[in-house]
Amino acid sequence: MTFDRNSWQKEHRKKNQNKDTKVYEKTKAGFLMRTYRNMLSRILGIQKKKAYLYKGKDILDKESFYLFALSDQQFNLLFDSWTEAGYPRKYTPSIDRMDSTVGYTIGNITWITHSENSKKGANTRWQNQLQ
């Protein structure tokens, strides 16, 4: 009998309701892993919602993203504040593309809170409707 790690992992996660994954994603390494995976799925068109905003745009490689984030003072401040506050969604660190016509590249990304990024997106949609 062969051991299928993916099947075991899926069954384990299902049994404990992803408890281990949720704990890991509250560490810097786990948080950055999830953030990068979400960025990549937007660029590849896996996430269909608002695909026209992301699909096919540039994205830095995973190692460069991790180095960028871990050495970024703003990310570390936001992450620590989010952790100390008990992980409220509005304070979650969020990657922001300063120019939405460009992908996730050094010089075009910065860290803001989830709340700030949501407001920024809402303001952009509102301005586009006026044009």
Give the CA radius of gyration of the chain. 17
Q: What is the pLDDT of residue 70?
A: 98
Does the predicted TM-score (pTM) go above 0.75?
yes
Q: Where are the domains of the chain?
A: 5-130
What is the DSSP code string of 92-127? SEEEEESSTTS-B-TTTEEEEEHHHHHHHHHHHHHH
The pLDDT-based confidence of 127 (bands split at 50, 70, 90) is low
Which residues touch 122 (CB under 8 Å, ≥6 apart)? Answer: none
Q: What is the pLDDT of residue 125?
A: 59
Give backbone dihedrals phi and psi of 49, rounded to 5 degrees, phi first: -65, 125
pLDDT in tens, 29-65: 999 999 999 999 999 989 888 888 899 999 999 999 9
List the helix and strand counts (H, then E) for the chain.
7, 2
